[in-house]
Structure 1
Amino acid sequence: MSRTTSPFPERMELSSEGLVLRDWTEADLPSMPELFDHPDIAYWTPVVSPFDEAAARARLDRARQLRAEGTTVLLAITTDGGAPLGEVMLRRAPEGTEIGYAIGPAHRGQGLAARAVRVMAAYAFEQLDTEQVILELEAENAPSVAVATKAGFRLLDIPLITGEEKGRPYALQTWALDRPRPSGGAMATDTDS
């Protein structure tokens, strides 16, 4: 029986941009409902609602399973490695490397989402050799559009991703951030100018 090797380490902690993105732990279970049990998160994300202690346990177990399978990593967003303020996700799929996030209502307006997205994108570029990361979001979700813009993503001119979640139709735009090109050295030039 062959076993798949996960591209993600068993334990993760990423520190940059004034943030520490770290693994969720059992100690975080009591604080997860206060972060995720909110109408905005229920409306804009696939996170279950209502989000109670049982949902927190299920999310932690699912996060560990997805990491072991090598498809997805979910990390708590913190400023110091302590109390979680939200979550950032990196998912590898055949259609691309996607980032997602949710910030607890009490912690919004601090630039946490854009910073966490940039840290996770840097990890994907540097450690997973990803060429492009994407965000999928609804045009009507103005705070997420602002995060995408602030994090340096550009809206792709591709068809919307449509579907239904929790009985509500959605149409997702795809925003992308390309792997930074090294500066210096030989550069391609346009000889037709």
Structure 2
Amino acid sequence: MSGTPLPFPERIELAGEGLVLRDWTEADLAAMPELFDHPDIAYWTPIVSPFDEAVARARLNKDRQMRAEGTTILLAITVDGRTPLGEVMLRRAPEGAEIGYVVGPAHRGQGLAARAVRVMAEYAFDQLGVGQVVLELEAENAASVAVATKAGFGLLDVPLIRGEEKGRPYALQTWGLRRAL
């Protein structure tokens, strides 16, 4: 197998669990700041803060670059295929695939993140052929721990991932879900 991953499809739309996960488009740029410019998101994620339309444009361009490189995809979480409520990310990783997610503050409490994670995990298993998907999150992030649990992930017995982001140290736990046999 070569060191260069195969590119992801140019367009992706995944449906399941009452959701439609779809590509971000230029039409979403105005909605992205409302979803991502929030203190919780700035604290718990590497997403740029403050988040405005210029940052949204840069994120859309970076999304397209990472997809073309075959490393990462970012999809809008929707219930209707149109209005973005959050984002789910899939990144190829040595463990198989890593999933990340963020839901806009106005749309929390509907199970969107756990459902999006399960749909994305199914894509990773079925379309990418990975054996395991992981979530990396801070134990203190109760909302993310709840998402991991609701999505069927278990805490793995592996070392914490330590680092610093935006001047703040972090220690990430690794949660995993294996492909059903």
Under TM normalisation by the shorter chain, which class is it?
A: over 0.9
1:51 and 2:57 matched:
no
Structure 2 residues not aligned, in runs of 5+: none
| Whole-angstrom distance in 2 between the partners of 1:11 and 1:5 | 17
- Displacement after TM superposition at 1:94 (Å): 3.0
Structure 1 residues not aligned, in runs of 5+: 182-193
Give runs of aligned pairs for residues 154-193 of structure 1, distance below 5 A: 154-181=154-181
Residue deviations 1:52-74, cap 9 Å, x none? Answer: 11100000000000000000000
- Displacement after TM superposition at 1:5 (Å): 6.6
Aligned to 2:30, the other structure's residue is in SS state helix
| Whole-angstrom distance in 1 between the partners of 2:26 and 2:56 | 9
| Whole-angstrom distance in 2 between the partners of 1:56 and 1:164 | 23
Conservation of the 8 A alpha-carbon contact between 2:35 and 2:86? yes
- The percentage of counterpart residues that share the same residue type is 81
- Displacement after TM superposition at 1:6 (Å): 3.4
* TM-score, L = length of structure 1: 0.90
**Distance change (3 Å), C-alpha of 1:146 and 1:5:** closer
Aligned to 1:62, the other structure's residue is in SS state helix
| Whole-angstrom distance in 1 between the partners of 2:14 and 2:54 | 28
| Whole-angstrom distance in 2 between the partners of 1:128 and 1:95 | 13
- Displacement after TM superposition at 1:95 (Å): 4.5
Residue deviations 1:108-161, cap 9 Å, x none? Answer: 000000000000000000000000000000000000000000000000011100
Conservation of the 8 A alpha-carbon contact between 2:96 and 2:132? yes
Runs of 4+ in 1 over 3 A off after TM superposition: 4-7
| Whole-angstrom distance in 2 between the partners of 1:56 and 1:158 | 34
Aligned residues: 178
| Whole-angstrom distance in 1 between the partners of 2:59 and 2:7 | 20
RMSD: 1.0
